[in-house]
Structure 1
């Protein structure tokens, strides 16, 4: 899915934090994904990284954001908050995002990019179709990917999969 708006400097700053969280996840033995929830005033309300290495593959940061927002923000606050993430939401996280009523999603890399890299590297697809957010939750506004951060995210996934990149 193409961007619904142009990324701003503020978007890039928040996305860089997401990629930092993704790198932290990888350094701690997990898959490289990180996400933050930013309220309408630009305040980071919650952040997390992937935590699936323990065996619970629902421990995506985007899913944790949806849970946290449902417990700690009003429906009105959720609707105008933005989720920034290193990689576009998977179908599970897209659905959670929509059910909780969160606002836009801004991502550093798209589902299409990640799927393309894995295909290029001969990595088998996961157990769930890699659908873009708007195929699961068509009412969610999205923006991304970030050309400035895509190479860094690609390198993290290559490192995870043991792929030597030139």
Structure 2
């Protein structure tokens, strides 16, 4: 169940996703919140430069591995506009980050892209729990998921 604090962090993720889209990138944004409730790191998608691994969730995993203790990583929460792709879910699991909270699910995104006639990507969109089964996951967030849907519609329909 999502709290008001969760929804506030998810709104920031949607803002970051909007910033990414406005910069000519795919609309994804993520925030890492430490165990004390402090925002430790945030980023947006940066794949437009040609490196398809430049996802914000992957950047969070790399940052956390360098800057946080294993205990702090496990007690932290990653908020994101869209459920982690398998690459990012694996990085999350390997680094030992805690809970993931997302505004929209991979299943929702897959459906939206199919409706828009966008061909599937090169990696199957598995749920986080299939890639990193020990990670606690919450989402989607009603209302915010529709905002994310609109960002993807803008990306693919202009």
Q: Which residue of 1 aligns with 2:5?
A: 10
CA distance in 2, matches of 1:69, 1:31: 23
Structure 2 SS opposite 1:147:
coil
Q: What is the aligned length?
A: 158
After superposition, where does 1:103-118 map in structure 2 within 5 Å? 103-118=98-113
Give the superposition deviation at 1:151.
1.1
Give the superposition deviation at 1:121.
1.5
Give the superposition deviation at 1:93.
0.0
Q: Choose the corresponding residue for 1:63, options 58, 67, 71.
A: 58
CA distance in 2, matches of 1:19, 1:93: 18
Q: Which residue of 2 aligns with 1:33?
A: 28
Structure 2 spans left out of the alignment, 5+ residues: none
Q: Which residue of 2 aligns with 1:81?
A: 76
1:27-75 deviations in Å (ceiling 9; x for gaps): 0000000000001111000000000000000000000000000000000
CA distance in 1, matches of 2:6, 2:143: 11
Query: TM-score, structure 2 length as denominator?
Result: 0.99
Q: What's the C-alpha RMSD, in Å, of the aligned pairs?
A: 0.7
1:116-145 deviations in Å (ceiling 9; x for gaps): 101111110000001010011100100000
Give runs of ≥4 in structure 1 deviating > 4 Å: none
Q: Which residue of 1 aligns with 2:96?
A: 101
Give the superposition deviation at 1:112.
0.4
CA distance in 1, matches of 2:112, 2:5: 27
Query: TM-score, structure 1 length as denominator?
Result: 0.94
Structure 1 spans left out of the alignment, 5+ residues: 1-5
1:64-123 deviations in Å (ceiling 9; x for gaps): 000000000000000000000000000000000000000000000000000010111111
Structure 1 SS opposite 2:143:
helix
Give the superposition deviation at 1:150.
1.1
